[in-house]
Every structure is written in C-alpha cells, then in structure tokens.
Amino acid sequence: MAFFSVLAALALEHLRPLRQPLPHYQHYSRFTQWLERRFNAGEYIHGAIAWALAMLPVLTGVWLVFVLLDSVSPILGWAWNVVVLYFTLGFKYFSDNAEQIARLLRAGDLEGARAQLGAWRGGDASEFSADDLARVAIEQVMAASHRQMFGVLLWFVLLVPLGPVGAVLFRASSILARRWVNSRGSFGGFAQRAFHVVNWLPARLTGLTYAIAGNFEDATFCWRTQADSWPEPEEGVVLAAGAGAMGIRLGQSVSVGGETVWRPELGTGQSPDADCIDSAVSMIWRGLVIWLVAGLLVVIAGWVA
C-alpha cells in the first residue's frame, strides 16, 4: 500500500500542484513563532521543549486520525496517507519556479529573473549576474527536491506502519530547523541537531540518486571531497553530488547588498546557464523515476514471494 500511496500522491501533486502561499504552512509557521516568543530565553533546553511541543501534537494527531480511519476501512487509511503526502510534498511548485527563471534568463530578462529568484528563496538577488542566477536557482531546486520530495518519501516509507507520520516528521523538523536557525542564543540548537539526525540518511540517498541519474564517478568524487565545506553538511552532500552528476560548478561568491559573499565551490566542469536549470529539473525527475521503479520491483517481489 505504501507504493500506491506514494504513486497517488505524486500524481495528484503533479496534476494539481499546491501554490504559495500555503495555508497549512502559514498556520504552522505562526505556531512556531508563538512557541519561540514564549520559550526562547536563549537556552538550549528551552529550544528542546519548544521543539517537542511543536512536533509531538502534530505527529500524534496525524497518527490517531490514521488509526481511526484505518480501523473503519483500510481504504480510508490509504486515502489519509495520500492526503497527508500531498500536503507535505511540494516539489512541483519549486520546479515551476526554476523553469520560469530559466525562461526569463533565455529571454534576457535579468530583472525578472532576479525578482523571481528573490521571491522564491528570500534575500537580495538584485546584484546577481546571469551566471549567479543560474547557479543559485539550480542549488535551490536541488535542495527543494530533497526537502520537499525525496526526504519526505523516504521517511514515509520507513514509518509506514504509523501511516503518514514519517512524512510529517521530516517536513516539520525541516521547517523548525530553518525557522529557528537564527534564534537568540542556543534556542535553535536542538532543532538543528534533531534535523541533522533525521536528515542524515535521506541526504545521502538523495546524493546517491543524483549520482545514478547523472555522472556517477564525478558525483561521488565531489561528494567525498567537497560536501563538508558547505555550511550545512547534509545540504552539501545533496548539492555536491548533484553538481558533480551534472558536470557543473555551483557555490562560488555572489554579490549581496554591495558586498561579496563567499561560498565554497561545488562540482566540476562548466559554469551553468539557463539550459542547465532545465537539465537539473530533468535529472531530479529521473531520480524520482529510479525510486518508483525500485519501489515497484519491491512490490512485485512481494507478490511473487
């Protein structure tokens, strides 16, 4: 049933992708902001308590609904899996952003591409060159494919006896780590450490997926030699493997607010252009097909056995 839940959710997300602003994300973000205001005294333990309060009620609620529906009918439990997966996935609207930036770059509309990228990732992109825009857009879409698709799907499968709890665990822990990264004191430290644990295996499977879908040798070389230089180690695995698989260079310095922001160099080969953005999206979809084929083979093996 897990495979068919994933297949149905992916089909639904592809046919009717969610569009920003996402109401469920906004409600949860307001809840996390409230928790931060109430508990943030700058201490690690306060962050751990707030993390538990942000996670446990949501996970418990998702699991209880699954148990209730599944006890009435397995079809209802399956439908709940599909619905929750649909709302925790979201790669399609990010891939649409990346493809729109590629179209703007090919049309020579740098201002439009800068505005699109700035609205997507946040921050100032007003001084980005065409090369900067292509690099950062590819980084964003690779990272989004991991956070919004591969990581969600892996944890859903790992915890499938609990319904869609795994999908919510990964997405919620990702959100908390990103929302509290700049919190006062060490309040966000527990959220960062928790997501590091949750994200360790998915990041490496995503990197392996990119390697299989692209140039395996270069992907694994860049993974081994460059990933640790990135500020976020798990994201470094994803981006280094993806850059190596495509034979392009990511990272490198960009201009923000009149200052040069240094970033480690990832990958090997050429600097990316607009066409490389589309190639990155294509590689990610190939990776998803690899996962689906592997899942189908497991299902068939179960039937034969």
Q: What would the pLDDT profile of 212-248 be if each residue is shown by its tens digit?
A: 999 999 999 999 999 999 989 899 999 999 999 999 9
The whole-number pLDDT of residue 67 equals: 97
Buried/exposed code over 91-128 (b: 16+ C-beta within 10 A; e: otherwise) = bbbbbebbbbbbbbbeeeebeebbebbeebbeeebeeb
The whole-number pLDDT of residue 28 equals: 92
In angstroms, how far apart are the furthest CA atoms of the chain? Answer: 63
The whole-number pLDDT of residue 17 equals: 83
The whole-number pLDDT of residue 137 equals: 95
The residue that leads in pLDDT, 256 or 201, is: 201
Q: At 122, is the pLDDT very low, low, confident or very high (cuts 50, 70, 90)?
A: confident
Beta strand spans in the chain (E): 249-251, 254-256, 259-261, 265-267
- Which two tokens mark 73? 């009918």
Give me the residue spans of the domains in the chain: 2-304
Q: At 111, is the pLDDT very low, low, confident or very high (cuts 50, 70, 90)?
A: very high
- Choose the weakest-confidence range: 90-94, 223-227, 273-277: 90-94
The whole-number pLDDT of residue 305 equals: 66
155, exposed or middle or buried, with CB in 10 Å at 0-12, 13-18, 19+? buried
The whole-number pLDDT of residue 217 equals: 95
pLDDT in tens, 153-201: 999 999 999 999 999 999 999 999 999 988 877 888 999 999 999 999 9
% of the chain with per-residue pLDDT over 70: 100
pTM over 0.95: no
The whole-number pLDDT of residue 256 equals: 79
The residue that leads in pLDDT, 90 or 164, is: 164
Q: At 102, is the pLDDT very low, low, confident or very high (cuts 50, 70, 90)?
A: very high
